Amino acid sequence: MCRPGRGRGSASASAAASASSTTAASRVPETLTVFAAASLKKTFTELATEFEAANPGVTVALNFAGSADLVTQITEGAPADVFAAADTKNMAKLTGAGLVTGAPAVFATNTLEIAVPPGNPAGVKSFADLADPATKVVICAAQVPCGAATAAIEKATGVTLAPVSEENAVTDVLGKVSSGEADAGLVYVTDVAGAGTSVLGIPFAESGTAVNSYPIGVVAASKHAELGTLFAGFVTGPTGRKVLAAAGFGTP
């Protein structure tokens, strides 16, 4: 109820509220398509929800896969607005081809960890144990960031692995370990943390020889470049840092 003597203030507040409501109501709905590395699935799903809440009328469509596969999709013309990779090498393929605008920003880091089924039936205790021919090991393919990191660790340690399979996404490696198809797999620290009790993580000191940096950038062909830039800033900003840190990602 309006009270006498406060008409001017109340009218101003009402006008401001009305203008705000009109702006929100009249905003043209937009869908922002974000291509992100498989290891970002949990964090980016959370960030997308928070971004939508902060930007009424915006829907964030997420596409998760191995970074190399996403690069191929974008190169072949897939409609993406933002790309977040699990390494700088795959991002460089797009920036070098002029398919990502500006300089992508690194927003997180990650390292590998050994994942084994609950109970660790193969008794894996170290990276060197993965070279045992009796141990069924699954790793990422070389073109995938987690595979490149695995190769770097092999080179640094002189330990050569003979995996039973090489996967195109780190989530596929995790899936084979959690299902018991493999005795061990090399995945990211964040994947182990997000898997709960479905796997057991075994840290190893040599993982520090291969730290992956995660960059994010706006795709040059995007029709929502301004919104894409806003999302990238959201990821690199306070909210993004908080969500990523809680998931176990390191800071750039």
User: 184: domain range?
Assistant: 112-209
Dihedrals phi, psi of 22, to nearest 5 degrees: -65, -40
**CA distances (Å), origin 190, targets 5, 13, 76, 202:** 59, 46, 30, 12
Q: Is residue 40 part of a domain?
A: yes
Residue 183 has a CB neighbour count (10 Å cut-off) of: 23
Q: Is the pLDDT of residue 241 over 80?
A: yes
Q: Is residue 21 part of a domain?
A: no
As a whole number of angstroms, the distance between CA 119 and CA 127 comes to 18
72-110 residue pLDDT tens: 999 999 999 999 999 999 999 999 999 999 999 999 999
What's the CATH code of the domain at 188? 3.40.190.10
Say which residue the tokens 């869908």 belong to.
31
Total tally of structural domains belonging to the chain: 2
As a whole number of angstroms, the distance between CA 230 and CA 31 comes to 13
Q: Are residues 42 and 117 in the same domain?
A: no
Q: Is residue 121 part of a domain?
A: yes
99-158 residue pLDDT tens: 999 999 999 999 999 999 999 999 999 999 999 999 999 999 999 999 999 999 999 999
Nearest CA-CA partner of 70 in 111, 100, 38: 38
For residues 186-198, average pLDDT: 96
Supply the pTM of this predicted model: 0.85
Q: Are residues 46 and 58 in the same domain?
A: yes
Q: Are residues 128 and 202 in the same domain?
A: yes
Nearest CA-CA partner of 101 in 77, 83, 79, 86: 83
Q: Are residues 105 and 220 in the same domain?
A: yes
Q: Is residue 103 part of a domain?
A: yes
pLDDT of residue 23: 39
Q: Are residues 242 and 191 in the same domain?
A: no
Q: Is the pLDDT of residue 220 over 60?
A: yes
Q: Is residue 76 part of a domain?
A: yes
27-43 residue pLDDT tens: 579 999 999 999 999 99
